[in-house]
Amino acid sequence: MWSQGRFRSKKDPSGPADGQDGDDMQAFAAKTASLGFPQIEINYVIPPDGVETLLETNHVSVSSVHSPCPRITVKDGRKSDALNLAATDEEERTLAVERARASIDIANRAGASLLVVHLGGIDRAIFDEERQLRRLYDSGTHDGEEVEALRRSAVDRRRSEGGKFFPQAKKSLAEIAEHGAANGVAIGLENRFHYHEFPDVDEQHELLADYPPDVVGFWIDIGHVEVLDRLGLVPRHRWLNELADRCIGSHVHDVDGLADHRAPGHGTADWDHYRDKLPPHIPRIFEINQKIPENEVAGSIPFLRQRGILPPA
């Protein structure tokens, strides 16, 4: 994520800044190592040539891959990360599974044993209720009758509409997990940023019950936990209080208001909770956006050591 647009290729110095072309992944890997990070997660925005470069670099190793990787344009013109693993359209769902399986193959080549998966959602669009809750939150209104009514409506809508899509998500997971198990790659189901997306805490329990921990586990994204808690939709403490024993990886980033992917130490995440509840053995992936300066990225390591999220140096 942090690489996007920061490392313009000499061949294409004015190329697009969306991770599609023109980023020098060798320069990114070298810079990452110099900032104190020995491993990386290959993000789903990286195009095929960038992925190949990261597989070949000797600056860093690969801890995990974020599906669907690499980012390609599929036959209907969409980017691969726009495909919904919970789609009711079977052609789209099958194509999304195909891209996840290709991501497992990338992880296998990289020597990484973990694949992060977004399991899809109810259609593709954010609920209107959530959009209004976000506007109210940003304007300073965090509680009250209007907020409570929107929360209830969002919960009811998810309950009524999810039944068409969740079985599709389960079907996709089964197909992905089979390929992952055959290749020694565990599937990490990430909690999501938007309320219409799968899985919520109860769905995570249901999904994990079907698999042993070395095949499918819970991947916690701290920023997403914080945002949905602040909107009053999913309590933050439920995730690790209930699922820590199935947690196999983490995305660590801070949250300023409802803006996530900030460098740890530059927001208001509940770090004491994560210190107490994050399993010590799981990887901490710093999922920080491309706008964050180098000094804040590097400063994330001592900050999280001081807060007990990382072990002492």
Measured between alpha carbons, how far is 222 from 274 in angstroms, rounded to an integer?
8
The residue length of the chain stands at 313
If you count DSSP H runs as helices and E runs as strands, how many of each does the chain have, helices first?
10, 9
Per-residue pLDDT reduced to its tens digit, 256-283 = 999 999 999 999 999 999 999 999 999 9
Q: Token pair for residue 124?
A: 């593709």
DSSP-based three-state secondary structure for 40: strand
pLDDT (0 to 100) of residue 17 = 43
User: What stretches in the chain show pLDDT beneath 70?
Assistant: 10-22
pTM confidence score: 0.94
**pLDDT at res. 10:** 60
- Separation of alpha carbons 272 and 233, rounded Å: 21
User: Are the C-beta atoms of 182 and 113 separated by less than 8 Å?
Assistant: no
Classify the phi-psi angles of 285: left when phi > 0, otherwise alpha if psi is within -120 to 50, otherwise beta. Answer: beta
- Residue-level pLDDT at 34: 97
Q: Where are the domains of the chain?
A: 25-123+164-304
Single-letter amino acid code for the residue at 308: G
Q: Determine the pLDDT at residue 75.
A: 84
**Cα-based distances in Å from 96 to 21, 109, 211:** 22, 20, 21
Among 95, 84, 80, residue whose Cα is nearest residue 20: 80
Architecture label for domain 25-123+164-304: Alpha-Beta Barrel (3.20)
